[in-house]
Structure formats: C-alpha cells, structure tokens
Amino acid sequence: MQYRNFGKLGVSHSAFGLGCMRFPMKEVDGNSVVDEENAISIIRAAIDGGVDYVDTAYVYSRGQNESVVGRALADGYREKVALATKLPTWNCEKTEDFMRLFEEQLASLNTDHIDFYLVHALNRSAWEKVRDLGVREFLDELKREGRIKYACFSFHDNYDAFEYILNDYDWDMCQIQFNYLDVVGDRPGLRGLELAGKKNIPVVIMEGLLGGKLASVPADVAEIFDEYKEKRTPVEWAFRWLCNFPQVATVLSGMTNLEMTKENLRIFDSIDGSMTDEELKIVERAREAYLARIRVGCTGCKYCMPCPQGVDIPAVFSAWNDGYRFDDISITSNKLSRLEKDEKGVSRCVECGACSAVCPQSIDIPTMLRAAVFDSQKNNG
C-alpha cells in the first residue's frame, strides 16, 4: 500500500481510503438493510491490505452505516485506522444538537474518539447556519478534550463558496469531489485543490470515479486508454491521475464486494504518484471524449432520495447516460418504461424542486428528468 502525507498535520495515511457509502444492501422483511456480513468482510479485507483511513457518515446506508463500521472495527481493527465521520448539518437547529449527534455517533461507532470529524456536505448557506450556531467553538472544544483529532469539512458547492469556507476557520482537512471530468467548471476542481495546497491543508477526494461512472467507459474512451503500452483498467487510469496531484492526501473509494476491494488494493499498491506527459495526454483525450457523450452529471449519490412522489431520480439519469454511453437509446427508453411500471417514473414528478435543493451537483433535476424522457422518445421515433 502506498501512503501519502497529510500536509500540515505531519501524518501519513493510505492513498486508498475506504469509503463506506456504497456498502451492499439486502431486503429483510420488506426493508432495505446493510448486508452486514459482506460489508464487514470488505472493511476488514481493506484494512488487512494496508488501508488505514476509513470514512463513514451519520446518514450513509439510511442511518445504519456507522453501526456496521463500529462492529467491523472491533477485535483490534479500530486501533489500525484513522476513522472519519461527519456531523449532519441538516439535523442541527440549535447549538445543543452538535453534542447530541456527536455522542450518538460515538456510541454507534463504539469508540471514544473520532480522528477526522467533518462538518458534512457544506455549501455556503449550510456553513453560515452551523457557524452561527457555534460549530467552530464546538470543534475547538472537542479537539481540546481529545475527542476528535482533526476538524474538517466535506464540500458541495461552487469555488467561491469553497474559498469562503476554507478561509473562515482553521481547518485541518477538507474533502472535495474531484476526478478527471471535474477539472474545471463551477466546482472547486483544480483551483480548489491548489488553494488548499497553498494553505498546506490536506485534501481527501470523493467521487474519484463519479459514482462508478468512470469505471465503465464508452468504447471510444476505452480505445484511447488501450493505445498505451501498459494495459490498465479505466479505474486504474482514474486513480493514477488523482494521485498525480501532491495535494491529494487520500482517494476514497467505495466497494460493494470483495473483488472490487482486492482490485483497488492492487491498484494502490502500485501507484507511485507520478504520470508521464504521455499518460497525462491520454487522460485528457479520454476526458474530452467522455464529456462529449454524457447527458447529465449525476453521480448516483442519492442525496435527492427519497423523492416525495416516488420518482427514482438516479435510475432515470443512469438510464439516460447509459443510452448514450453504449450508443443505444433504446436502453434509456426500456429502463424508463420499467420505472413507469414500477411507479417510479418521471410521470410522477410534480416539479416541487426538493431534489434540486439538495443535489451536490447543482442539477436542475425536474428539467433534466423531462429532457431524458423527451430525448428517449425523440430518438425512438
């Protein structure tokens, strides 16, 4: 396993960080629950393979994630890792909520401290809300007491908001979305990465594969990658590209099975943090080809779910993108028809806007849902 420096903190952790958001789920008595046996196997296999950074959150897996992680870190595994979890800002309406939620998280995780405690999913308004409730003082208190080691934040907004938040507190670490499709644009992207680097603040990367979208690439993108003398999977190209940036401390990756875990361990065992000019040009060409195909930048994070009307928003967008990715728009129309039969289709949308308000990608979801249907019908005559 390769290990990377965490900037001003003076510590190092595995380049591969275990992201726990995408654990396998199963149905039990009509309820969707974490497949705990498989999830624990994934966690322990990753740690046994050298991973020492584990990232969970209060809200993941419909609120079940922290408890599963806590059980996985029993039997001596807690001592082997730096544990990261997140304060759910949307549940904080008064100052007392900070400590109430933190104590609940400690109990779920079966630990007496959190290594990296992140204020979760910040945008400008969410930051100002919790800041005015005293979250900076709360984080300072937890650090003084040794109940957290580092005060951090995860971010979902534009570059200007990122710069504002980054400069509004003495942060120990930040977590942003970054991948070879998110280099430039409204998001922090490369500018945000460089800004944090100038302040020597380590950056943890989420959505390095865009929710798996960069793991299965179009044929023309695959052909570009295959031109290189050394055969690599699209996943390895994406991860190698991220580790080429010295500001990147850890790249989070979520796995749903042991095979994915073993493959990630193999990749991060060999990444040395440098790419040649030839390799960088290949990734840039792949980026240009990929962006020419994608219809909507949904990562499948499911922050928009559940929809009040029952629309399966990520499934609609996945169907739309898949139709263009594989040059077969019937894939889109067939999947949209099945969603309608299951009463999860676009026809149920009343354009209430609740989904757009919480979308980390700032997608105008109602508009794009209509566009997906129109596009599939138009192209199918």
Domain boundary assignment for the chain: 3-291, 313-379
pLDDT band at 273; cut points 50, 70, 90:
confident
Helix (H) or strand (E) run with residue 365 in it: helix 365-379
Q: Average pLDDT of 303-325?
A: 91
Compute the distance between CA of residue 212 and CA of residue 235 in angstroms, rounded to an integer: 9
Over the chain, what is the mean pLDDT? 93
| Domain 3-291 homologous superfamily, CATH | NADP-dependent oxidoreductase domain (3.20.20.100)
Residue range 34-91, pLDDT digits in tens: 899 999 999 999 999 999 999 999 999 888 999 999 999 999 999 999 999 999 999 9
Q: Identify the three-state secondary structure at position 114.
A: strand
Residue 325 has pLDDT above 90, yes or no: no
Q: What is the pLDDT of residue 380?
A: 60
Q: Average pLDDT of 312-326?
A: 88
Q: Average pLDDT of 238-267?
A: 95
pLDDT band at 95; cut points 50, 70, 90:
very high
Q: What is the pLDDT of residue 316?
A: 95
pLDDT band at 379; cut points 50, 70, 90:
low
Residue 136 has pLDDT above 80, yes or no: yes
Q: Exposed, middle or buried, 20 (CB in 10 Å: 0-12/13-18/19+)? A: buried
Residue range 147-162, pLDDT digits in tens: 999 999 999 889 999 9
Calculate the dihedral angle through the C-alpha atoms of 230, 233, 235, 241, rounding to the nearest 10 degrees. Answer: 20
Strands of 170-312, DSSP E = 173-177, 203-206, 248-254
Compute the distance between CA of residue 127 and CA of residue 280 in angstroms, rounded to an integer: 36
pTM of the full structure = 0.81
